[in-house]
Amino acid sequence: MWQTAKRINTEIEQADRILLVCHKNPDGDTLGSITAFIHYLKKINKQPVGFCLTPIPEGFRYLPHVDDITNNTTIWENETYDLLIVFDSGDLSYAGVADLLPKLAKQPPIIDIDHHATNHLYGKHNLVITTASSTAEIVYQYFTYNKIDIDKHMATSLLTGLTTDTDHFTNAATSSSALRAASELIGLGGNFSRIKETTLKNKSIIGLKLWGIMFNRITKQEKHDIIYTYITQQDLLDCHAKETEVEDVSNFFNNLGEGKAALVLKEGRDGRIKGSFRTTRDDVDVSAYALALGGGGHKKAAGFSTDGPIEKAITTVFETIDAVDNKLQTTDNR
């Protein structure tokens, strides 16, 4: 694995113009990873260009160089880059650039840095560690392995990724190496209190009202021991809320002491239903369900999208879970 880190370092040394991509609908991990890397590349006099297909949440504006990340797709048209680095994306469509890549004048070598179990290993070099808490932890290891100095700006970026993907060091991804990395990063000047302002002290009255609606709808599906809830576009309209205001709910469900897994369904503006599974149990693999529903993710946190309306999606989801469980049983019995 660390051979790959070495090869990537050599590849970067030889490159000049480097395109960096964080996944669409970016979270703290993909943003923390890309901004730490942009900062590093600038320090060594490279020309990094950051790209994200969709807007960056306002709360993450404190990260260094977020203004260097554009959503302008013209940076792909007929352009040439020496290298392309993709952060926290299992494949290029998840990243949001599958359709953009062919527009480049020349196909650059791709570096894939990620921790998703469902990663397609689409890069020339794939620094994919599925046991890592976050992509930021892998980037931290990468810098450490290659003896690259991590300054306080990079530390804040990487600590953001670690903090958000471990849900403030509470979820199942919180390993000793994640805590060690976080501790080191705080020692290097990572601003943990600034991170918390965005990730914890960010609740609004509107947001809490939406949570109230979702909490009211919590249902336990006895057969599979799965607890679920949902939110519709009408709910958002009724509360004058934005979609981003429901983001944290599926993580919050991790605090539930009941059920083998939790599922949150959200109706999108296009009528499609996005679902996210969470579990804290080691014997449950929710990525198998998500995969069967056309999505992907980790064993303990995975997502998918399916046709609406909500009632139909609920039926589809539990039929699929049934099929997956039955298949697992047949393989077990062999």
Q: Which residues bind Mn ion (CB under 5 A)?
A: 29, 88, 134-135, 165
Minimum distance from CB of 29 to Mn ion (Å)?
3
Residue closer to Mn ion (CB basis): 28 or 259 = 28
Report d(CA 125, CA 2) in Å as an integer: 11
> In this structure, are residues 247 and 59 in contact, taking their beta carbons and an 8 Å threshold?
no
Minimum distance from CB of 142 to Mn ion (Å)?
15
Minimum distance from CB of 220 to Mn ion (Å)?
29
Measured in degrees and rounded to the nearest 5, phi and psi for residue 257 equal: -90, 10
Minimum distance from CB of 270 to Mn ion (Å)?
25
Residue closer to Mn ion (CB basis): 19 or 162 = 162
Residue closer to Mn ion (CB basis): 130 or 219 = 130
Residue closer to Mn ion (CB basis): 134 or 280 = 134
Q: Which residue minimizes CB distance to Mn ion?
A: 29
Residue closer to Mn ion (CB basis): 134 or 250 = 134
Token pair 């109706």: residue: 267
- Distance set, CA 3 to CA 63, 117, 125, 142, 168 (Å): 30, 20, 10, 11, 31
Minimum distance from CB of 134 to Mn ion (Å)?
5
Minimum distance from CB of 86 to Mn ion (Å)?
12
Residue closer to Mn ion (CB basis): 88 or 245 = 88
